[in-house]
Structure 1
Amino acid sequence: MNNLIQQLPKTELHLHIEGTLEPDLLLELSKKHHVDLPYKSIDEIHAAYNFEDLQSFLDLYYLGASVLVDEDDFYQLMWRYLLKCKEQNIVHTEMMFDPQTHTDRGIPFATFMPGFVRAMDDAAQQWGQSSLLIMSFLRHLTEQEAIDTLAAAKPYLQHIEAVGLDSSELGNPPEKFVRVFEQAKSLALSCVAHAGEEGPADYIWQALKLLKVDRVDHGVRCVDDPKLLQTLAETQMPLTVCPLSNTKLCVFDDMKEHNILDLLAKDILVTVNSDDPSYFGGYLNENFEALQQALNLNQQQLIKLVKNGFTGSFLSEQQKAHWLGKIDKLV
């Protein structure tokens, strides 16, 4: 099964580029920019990756992002992830980035966007890597700050496919961001939002009805609402599920309790993704392997999950058909 996981062309739809910051690069950049971290070794960093909940992860995540300062830092961050895509046969990736994490530190769009785009262009030219960017708003901040961020992004919109909503979910419902999502839609941007990870099923309804999202990030709490389950199945609304993340952040106590295959059986368009792989113990292939080990993922389920990734993506219908055909020929 692991060989098939590797061989299949795949897409990744829920990946925070700042969450791919590996301990070696973290230490390298902290020394480069004289950033004082509470960790002196890679082992100490790994020891800190035992999270109690989403907030304990976010605290470390934002600390890690503090070492990203100049354009080359952002290039290196993006380039290393795209190399991982090549290694794991992720032929298309849609990556979230958090501009407010950087602008609040005085790092402007003019620094991080050229770094990201240059790495994406290099990967496209060197091995045909397909990639898109999703600009995520930090939901623990105000909607006005999100509106200001959207305005600051306007010179770079040709490089941005969609907007998203991430960070601390509890206490920050989607309804808080209706105006900025309306503005994003008016700029012809697609929309996604984290909902129903730690927050309730009602947050998923809000994302669907108020933000009018094109897909839901996480969404695993949909099982708490039978009507929502029916709606998700009928509309084939994609859910970008992140198994290793969900267990690392104690959304599920054990991978054996994860509901992704139950949702798949209910004909919900669930996809597999790695979220913040350097913090959660694995990239995309490792997430599939974890499902195989804990839930006895079979070949039919694997193929369906991989195909769902393409179906739920922002690729053109022609591109989707191309890759779905490739998968059919492979199996």
Structure 2
Amino acid sequence: MTGDLAAFVRGLPKAELHLHLEGTLEPELKFMLAQRNGVELAEKTVAEVKATYRFHDLTSFLRVYYPAMRVLQQPRDFHDLAFDYLTRAHADGVRHVEMFFDPQAHTGRGVPFHTVISGYRSAIVAARREFGISAELILCFLRDHSAEYAMATLLEALPYKDWIIGVGLDSDERGNPPSKFADVFARARQEGFLLTMHCDIDQTDSIEHIRQAIEDIGVDRIDHGTNIIEDDRLVELAKSSGLALTCCPVSNSFVTNRMKADEITALLDRGLVVTVNSDDPSYFDAYAADNYLALARQADLGVEHLVRLAENSFRASWIPAAKLERYLHDIREYVAAYS
């Protein structure tokens, strides 16, 4: 293959399936929105903002993550956030993205649901029109709140079903297993939403949470989920059912002491539909292509593995079959041009 690996990876057609829109809030945009909305920030420079990004686990990350959202107040704020991300994703070779958003993090501080979703939706339409990227929204429930609050949020979302492809579960996993939200996810499935759930890495009861997500809830894919490698039965179950994992190598290295590159590669080699994603890229300073490159360098992956990850990203997505075949064809053409 000719050409630089980084250039190859950035141009490689790919989908992103594990991306928190609120986690794309770059410091520069944060300052702009704060000024727009009259929000006083403790930090005065980009360097000061980034100095707060000191995470050693999920909890320490969330303590920084949620307070930053207070600058998001108007529809155009949410539009600008999503459009900026979609612009960067397009530059990284992302052709399709399924984006998480956390409405409770906004409605809980008085921002109406419609304000949030209308801003995000307008950015999706604008980005599709401007540079052809395809995007969908996944509504995530905050698992450290009550199941009743999650159900109320689901009901509030029903008038916007055409704008939301699925539901997910994120935030602090400690003491908040998938089973806590079984009724909410059953109702979501009944309403026609696809299902995914975070099973964060190295959590207490990780394997039991993964088992609940697969066997009790019946999710369509799992976010993170790398600990599944500790249970051969669950690995084989995921493999036989085609259940995908949306892994995030760089963010792993922030909230644990390593990237989990060996585990991700082992699961890929065992035939699971493993994908690579950026999670909260503004906080971890790594967008989609950066995660592919970081994993490739850490695990010494060649082009064959990288292409398989890109193919998996589309196979794991919730796009129609005809669109899937078109993207896979685009990957084959792209690789052939580099051979």
Task: Provide TM-score, normalisation by structure 1.
Answer: 0.97
Residue from 259, 262, 270 that aligns with 2:274: 270
Give yes or no for the alignment of 1:245 onto 2:254. Answer: no
Question: Could you say which residue in structure 1 is the equivalent of 2:120?
Answer: 116
Q: 1:213 is matched with which residue: 214, 219, 233?
A: 219
Structure 2, unmatched stretches of 5+, are none
Residue 304 (structure 1) aligned with residue 276 (structure 2): no
Q: How far is the alpha carbon of 1:179 from its aligned partner?
A: 0.4
Kept after mapping to 1: 8 A contact 2:249/2:260: no
**Distance in 2 separating the partners of 1:25 and 1:224:** 40
Structure-1 residue corresponding to 2:21: 17
Once the two structures are TM-superposed, the CA of residue 39 in structure 1 deviates from its matched residue by 1.6
Deviation at 1:138, TM superposition (A): 0.2
**Partner SS, residue 82 of structure 1:** helix
Cα pair 2:151 2:184 within 8 Å, conserved: yes
The residue that corresponds to 1:143 in the other structure is: 147
User: Are 2:207 and 1:201 aligned?
Assistant: yes
* Residue 229 of structure 1, aligned match among 235, 238, 243: 235
CA contact (8 A) 2:168 2:196 kept: yes
Residues 149-164 of structure 1 correspond to what in structure 2 (within 5 A)? 149-164=153-168
Matches within 5 A, 1:152-191: 152-191=156-195
Question: Any idea what SS the aligned residue of 2:236 has?
Answer: helix
Displacement after TM superposition at 1:27 (Å): 1.6
Question: What is the aligned length?
Answer: 329
Query: What amino acid sits opposite 2:240 in the alignment?
Result: E
Structure 2 counterpart SS, 1:293: helix
- Partners of 2:73 and 2:106 in 1: how far apart? 8
Q: Deviations over 1:104-150 (max 9, x none)?
A: 01101121111111111011112221000000000000000000001
- CA deviation vs aligned residue, 1:150-202 (integer Å, no higher than 9, x gap): 11111111100000000001211000000000110111110000014233111
Query: CA shift at 1:50, angstroms?
Result: 1.7
Match 2:299 to one of 295, 298, 315 = 295
Letter aligned with residue 98 of structure 1: D
Q: Is the 8 A contact 1:163 1:184 kept in 2?
A: yes
256 and 190 in structure 1: CA distance in 2 versus 1, 3 angstrom threshold = closer
- Matching residue within 90, 103, 116 for 1:86: 90
Cα distance per residue 1:208-251 (max 9 Å; x no partner): 1222110000001111211111111221210000000111111x
CA RMSD between the two structures: 1.2
Match for residue 100 of structure 1? Answer: 104
Determine helix, strand or coil for the equivalent of 2:138. strand
Amino acid at match of 1:229: V
Q: 1:256 to 1:142 in 2, by over 3 A?
A: closer
1:282 has 2:286 as partner = yes
Distance 1:112 1:31 in 2: 19
**Within 2, Cα distance between the matches of 1:257 and 1:125?**
36
Taking a change above 3 Å as real, the CA distance of residues 8 and 26 of structure 1, as seen in their structure-2 partners, is same
Secondary structure at the counterpart of residue 210 of structure 1: helix
Q: What CA deviation, in whole Å up to 9, does each residue of 1:34-75 have, x standing for no partner?
A: 323332211011111120110111111101111100111001
Asked whether the 8 Å contact 1:134–1:161 carries over to 2, the reply is yes
Task: Determine the C-alpha separation between the residues in 2 that align with 1:124 and 1:63.
Answer: 30
Q: Tell me if the contact between 1:196 and 1:222 (Cα under 8 Å) persists in the aligned partners.
A: no
1:320 aligns with 2:324: yes
Change (3 A) 1:256 1:16: closer
Whether contact under 8 Å (1:256, 1:294) holds in the other structure is: no
Q: Secondary structure of 2:38's match?
A: coil
Deviation digits for residues 262-286 of structure 1, max 9, x if unmatched? 1111111100000000001200000
Structure 1 unpaired stretches of 5+: none
The 5 A counterparts of 1:124-143 are 124-143=128-147
Q: Matches of 2:154 and 2:9 in 1, distance apart?
A: 37
- What residue identity is the alignment partner of 1:201? I
Distance 2:261 2:139 in 1: 31
Matched residue SS, 2:71: coil
Secondary structure of the residue that 1:255 maps to in structure 2? coil
2:178 maps to a residue whose letter is P
